[in-house]
């Protein structure tokens, strides 16, 4: 079974005080049978361009195992944001764009976020939006107007509400067929409801932090899913959404 971690970070993050290395990520992948990562830089990095280049170098060293997700501050000038994200997607081969409302003080329905969605549509990539911790800016419900305004845009709600707002995230996914749920930090009872009510093709495994990998895998394996449904949740959904083949 191909397992894809749809949410992991590389390098120093000044906001969350983490700093995971390439060697640590590779050991974790090997220890837990993970075939590929959708990898983001630290949300708040000292040098955003270098943080993205580091992911590209890592991907080049391990073809097919590492796929980048671009994350830049959307509060910069529109022209600058477009140049940075277009560079990451078109030149570095990154597979999507990340919005973190807490890090950048930009809620999903903030006017500054509109440039993200328009650019993602133009580039043909999905947008991952952090939800949960950091409410009200990170409330899942704020993704509803975005999903309805951009029905052809694939939106991945990171953390699927982050536990406390899991039921709200599930309602968003039920109402908006272009919304997908990445479930790191989701309680197992919410995870079971998500797979049951929106289906395994709209739910994807992610860990967010290295120590969380075995925990998140254990949640899925405790649900009693069929082999086919488990295969979608643990890899095929992410592969389809992020275009990983």
Specify the pLDDT at position 15.
81
**Three-state secondary structure string covering 146-201:** HHHHCCCCCEEEEHHHCCCCHHHHHHHHHHCCCEEEECCCCCHHHHHHHHHHHCHH
**How much is the pLDDT for 46?**
87
Residue 235 has pLDDT above 90, yes or no: yes
- pLDDT tens-digit profile of 175-215? 999 999 999 999 999 999 999 999 999 999 999 999 999 99
Q: Where are the beta strands (DSSP E) in the chain?
A: 4-13, 18-20, 36-41, 66-68, 97-99, 127-130, 155-158, 179-182, 203-204
Residue 16's pLDDT is 85
pTM of full prediction above 0.95: yes
Mean pLDDT of the chain: 97
Q: What's the CA gap between 245 and 243, in Å, rounded?
A: 6
User: What's the CATH code of the domain at 103?
Assistant: 3.20.20.140
pLDDT tens digits, 20-31? 999 999 999 999
The pLDDT assigned to 199 comes to 98
Work out the pLDDT band at 135, boundaries 50, 70, 90. very high
Q: How many independent structural domains does the chain possess?
A: 1
For residue 5, give the DSSP letter.
Answer: E
Which residues span the domain enclosing 96? 4-242
CA distance 167 to 153: 22
């Amino acid at each position: 079974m191909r397992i894809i971690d749809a949410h992991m970070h590389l390098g120093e993050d000044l906001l969350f005080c983490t700093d995971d290395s390439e060697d640590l990520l590779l050991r974790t992948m090997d220890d837990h049978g993970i075939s590929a990562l959708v990898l983001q830089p630290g949300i708040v990095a000292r040098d955003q361009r270098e943080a993205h280049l580091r992911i590209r170098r890592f991907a080049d060293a391990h073809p097919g195992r590492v796929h980048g997700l671009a994350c830049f501050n959307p509060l910069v000038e529109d022209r600058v944001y477009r140049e940075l994200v277009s560079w990451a997607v078109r030149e570095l081969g990154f597979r999507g764009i990340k919005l973190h409302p807490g890090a950048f003080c930009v809620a999903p329905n903030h006017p500054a976020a509109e440039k993200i969605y328009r650019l993602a549509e133009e580039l043909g990539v999905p947008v991952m939006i952090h939800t949960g911790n950091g409410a009200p800016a990170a409330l899942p419900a704020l993704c509803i107007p975005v999903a309805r305004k951009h029905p052809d845009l694939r939106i991945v709600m990171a953390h699927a509400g982050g536990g406390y707002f899991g039921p709200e995230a599930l309602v968003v996914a039920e109402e908006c067929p272009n919304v997908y749920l990445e479930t790191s930090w989701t309680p197992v009872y919410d995870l079971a409801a998500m797979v049951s009510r929106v289906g395994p093709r709209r739910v994807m495994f992610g860990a967010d932090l290295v120590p969380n990998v075995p925990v998140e895998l254990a949640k899925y394996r405790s649900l009693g899913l069929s082999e086919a449904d488990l295969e979608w949740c643990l890899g095929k959904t992410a592969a389809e959404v992020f275009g990983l083949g």
